[in-house]
Amino acid sequence: MRNTISFLGAVVALGVLATGCAGPEKKLGRGFNNFNEIIRASEYRRSIEQTAVFETPERAYTTGAVRGFNRTMARTGIGIYEIITFPIPPYEPVATRYLTPDPVFPDNHRPSAIDDSLFATDTGLGFSGGSIAPWIPGNRFRIFDN
């Protein structure tokens, strides 16, 4: 009897772990994406750009930089919160009045997929189009950009 209960418990645990849930999966992915904002610095660059365009260029490197730093820290903090609490409901994004759930990029540069055989499997040439180093801020070099 004891072996049957432990076997049944192991099967239930394996079933729960193997099936997965879309809510925690999305929350954890969103958390990692937001946590990496401090490295990506897209909110920082976008805030400087938007301040220069919609206010004045003189305020871009002062007001825009401070606003970008605040938004970067907020997105990083939300990422830490979502990583820690990913198995706990609710699974919807938090603080959506202040930040969008998805990462933002400056309007003058939107990164694309990295040039890798995982995304573009052109075995005839050995390489194909895409960004060469999208993790480098301001990188705009692409192969076969049309």
- Residue 81: pLDDT band with limits 50, 70, 90: very high
pLDDT digits (tens, 9 = 90+) for 22-47: 888 899 999 999 999 999 888 999 99
- CA distances to 40, 96, 117, 145 from 82, in Å: 18, 13, 31, 36
Q: pTM (2 decimals)? A: 0.67
Question: Around 137, how many Cα atoms within 13 Å sit in the side-chain half-sphere?
Answer: 12
Any idea what the Cα angle at residue 109 is, between residues 68 and 106, rounded to 5°? 25
Within this chain, do residues 115 and 102 fall inside the same structural domain, yes or no? no
Residue 96 domain flag: yes
pLDDT at 115 over 80: no
In a domain, 83, yes or no: yes
| pLDDT tens, residue by residue, 119-145 | 665 555 555 555 666 667 666 665 555
40, 86: one domain? yes
**How many folded domains does the chain comprise?**
2
Percent of the chain exceeding pLDDT 70 equals 66
